[in-house]
Structure 1
Amino acid sequence: MATLILVRHARSSANGSGVLAGRTPGVGLDETGRGQAAKLPSRLEGVPLKRVVVSPLQRCRETVGELVSGRDLEPVVEPRLSEVDYGDWTGKKISELTGEQLWKVVQQHPSAAVFPGGEGLAEVQARAVAAVREHDRQVADNEVWLLCSHGDVIKSVLADALGLHLDSFQRIVVDPCSVSVVRYTETRPFVLKVNDTGSDVSGLLPPAESESAGSDAVVGGSTGNTAAETDSRG
């Protein structure tokens, strides 16, 4: 039962200007984003990290910079967790794109959305989920690992973990430098947190073996101690 912490990169200069940065090189964090990233080590204090995996883009590497330097971890760069290739939309202002016919598809039927000169959102989910599953298999049970990626990428991974069709992933909110948590088991993932921006993270600690019921879901509701508890309470 490895536990995955998904961190969206902190606010970038493109976020602040309303531009769809995509894979444009040289897009780093703005002042607000640097402040958000500086708080990440204290937010995750006491949470053991076995591995940190990052998108190759600058804003993700900057977000985890202080976190990994304080723990003497070398981030693993994973191209499959890179931002969506928005193709011809890259670098344009969001306000200029909302009138496009494709914008409605992205909002209402994202599984069918393919960006001109870029990739489709279904492709994004396929590559991201494949990367997550592969890295998760390389981490032992009861260990915690972290990935830092981008909003649509993380939303697609969360949709998969929640058993949602990709067409529902726009219902998920993932803010800059937010933390979401998924615990993977042999038969299903458990989603523990979504879009957390600063609360207590003690629940991220993996459960003791004696407290874990493996892949069984809790009947009647969790008591708040573990993702899958040995008792069922009404």
Structure 2
Amino acid sequence: MSTVILLRHGRSTANGSGVLAGRMPKVGLDDTGKAQAEALVERLAGVPLAELVVSPMLRCKQTVAPLASANGLAKTVEPRLSEVDYGDWTGRELKTLFAEPLWRVVQAHPSAAVFPGGEGLAGMQARAVAAVREHDARITAEHGEHAVWALCSHGDVLKALLADALGQHLDAFQRIVVDPASISVVRYTETRPFVLRVNDHGSDFKGVVPPPPQKKKKGRKKKSGGPGESDAVPGGTTGR
């Protein structure tokens, strides 16, 4: 299967004011977020992106706009990658939510957390994982197993995707940090995902691009019994 770059949107106006934006309309990037979006072009300059898949929220669309323009890519909007529906918590200041009984559940037992008037975190993870795996299978079929594509979504959504890729229960997803404009990378295979980067703020991502497939020599039979692309190397990889 292919490799997916998990991109969190740049800093939004809500991030800067301590408000849980959720699915509030017209929440865009602040000046810092706009600069982060522009910087993505150079950060990912060495990565041949096949496609961009994006949450329908404005801040995500704004984040990938410079990247899409620089690479001549259209944006595929995927509703299942949208922000968590926080229901009655939407638009409230984070400092007022600390005292809510549900806050402790969100921290310690998130798989049981259901936001009043909204959705549960377990349901969010299910929809997001299904979306990523479906798009990955489609992009692999269209562009090949060595394709690299990017998606832009939200903090809790990306943490849930990484927990799934790491084989962790959702109750452990609060141990994962995903900052605004950070990049995480997952390579999916037939048997398991491999997590290549988490919460990376660097600018060299050429190492996550899979090497081109080797051409088979005529008359040469494929050896059996060797490690496959889904196998982990004991002792760690040797790098590139």
Q: Same fold (TM over 0.5)?
A: yes
Residue aligned with 2:49, SS: coil
Is 2:159 the partner of 1:155? yes
Structure 2 counterpart of 1:219: 234
**Counterpart-to-counterpart distance in 2, 1:161 and 1:208:** 24
Structure 2 counterpart of 1:164: 168
Displaced runs of 4 or more, over 6 A: none
> RMSD across aligned C-alpha pairs, in angstroms?
1.0
Deviations 1:47-93 (A, max 9, x none): 01111000000000000000001111110000000000000000000
Deviations 1:162-208 (A, max 9, x none): 00000000000000000000000000000000000124211121123
Aligned residues: 224
Structure 1 counterpart of 2:124: 124
**Counterpart-to-counterpart distance in 2, 1:147 and 1:2:** 13
Gaps of 5+ in 1: 226-234
Structure 2 counterpart of 1:26: 26
**Counterpart-to-counterpart distance in 1, 2:146 and 2:108:** 38
Structure 1 counterpart of 2:96: 96
Gaps of 5+ in 2: 215-226
Residue aligned with 2:124, SS: helix
**Counterpart-to-counterpart distance in 1, 2:204 and 2:74:** 26
Amino acid at match of 2:172: S
Q: What TM-score comes out, normalization by structure 1 length?
A: 0.94
**Counterpart-to-counterpart distance in 2, 1:191 and 1:208:** 20
Contact 2:44 2:203 in 1 (8 A): no
**Counterpart-to-counterpart distance in 1, 2:211 and 2:4:** 13
Amino acid at match of 2:116: P
Q: What TM-score comes out, normalization by structure 2 length?
A: 0.91
Residue aligned with 2:41, SS: helix
